[in-house]
Amino acid sequence: MAEPPAQTPKQVTVIGHPLVQHKLTLMRHKDSSTGKFRQLAREISLLMAYELTRDLPLETREIETPMETMQAPILAGKKLCIVSILRAGDGIAEGMLDLVPSARVGHIGLYRDPKTLEPVEYYLKLPEDVGERLVIVVDPMLATGHSAAAALTRLKQAGATQLRFACLLAAPEGMKVLTETHPDVPVFTCSIDRELDSHAYIRPGLGDAGDRLYGTK
């Protein structure tokens, strides 16, 4: 696991579970096939979801077991909404849905304007009651942080009030942008890597997550 920066913001959680770190190392390996990479992304995303949902509120409900009735804990209120930042975010969302199949799913599409270098929204589809749900925004890589910050801003405009962001890898530069723009949003990542290179790739990183998930170049 890459060492987090000395001044990691309090809102950032680096998930150090041994299984998460083991699977992340396998994902980083350049010889991992598309199928293997996709499988690992799904597995590690499910494990991340445990951390992201650790404090969900519970209520009790009377049920009948084969032996007797009892008051049993069950999730309270509206369930989750997982919002994928297209396209690579889908590789993370699918694994989380294995754990919480009842979650609603939203999508947001952003591209970088070649002249201004600012994120431009081209697609947005969210559940109508997004404001009543805990929204987990997912994208494998937090590089410059601008797309993630723009996505969170747009979701707040759409009424979301309970937001969390999850990624496999983060660069210190992107983490700084995201946490300064949205200091109220908890961030979960499996590693904060060393730096961005001149092409805005995370180093040591794992390459382009979208290309590795879908076998494209």
CA distance 175 to 180: 8
Residue with tokens 């996505």: 151
Determine the Cα angle at 74 with ends 189 and 140, to 5°. 15
142: annotated binding-site residue?
A: yes
Q: What is the pTM of this model?
A: 0.91
pLDDT at position 5, please?
52
CA distance 180 to 198: 22
146: annotated binding-site residue?
A: yes
- Helical residues (DSSP H) of 53-171, grouped into ranges: 90-99, 146-157
49: annotated binding-site residue?
A: no
Tens-digit pLDDT string for the chain (217 aa):
445 455 677 899 999 999 999 999 999 999 999 999 999 999 999 999 999 999 999 999 999 999 999 999 999 877 899 999 998 999 999 999 999 999 999 999 988 777 776 788 999 999 999 999 999 999 999 999 999 999 999 999 999 999 999 999 999 999 999 999 999 999 999 999 999 998 889 999 999 999 999 988 7
208: annotated binding-site residue?
A: yes
55: annotated binding-site residue?
A: no
Residues 6+ apart with CB under 8 A from 6: none
152's tokens: 């969170």
- Which helix (H) or strand (E) segment holds residue 169: the answer is strand 162-170
Phi, psi for residue 211 in degrees, rounded to 5: -60, -40
141: annotated binding-site residue?
A: yes
pLDDT at position 32, please?
94
Give me the active site residues, please.
Answer: 112, 116, 208, 211
167's tokens: 């990624």
Residues 6+ apart with CB under 8 A from 103: 79, 80, 81, 82, 96, 97
Q: What's the CATH fold of domain 12-54+79-214?
A: Rossmann fold (3.40.50)
31: annotated binding-site residue?
A: no
Rg (C-alpha) for the chain, rounded Å, is 18
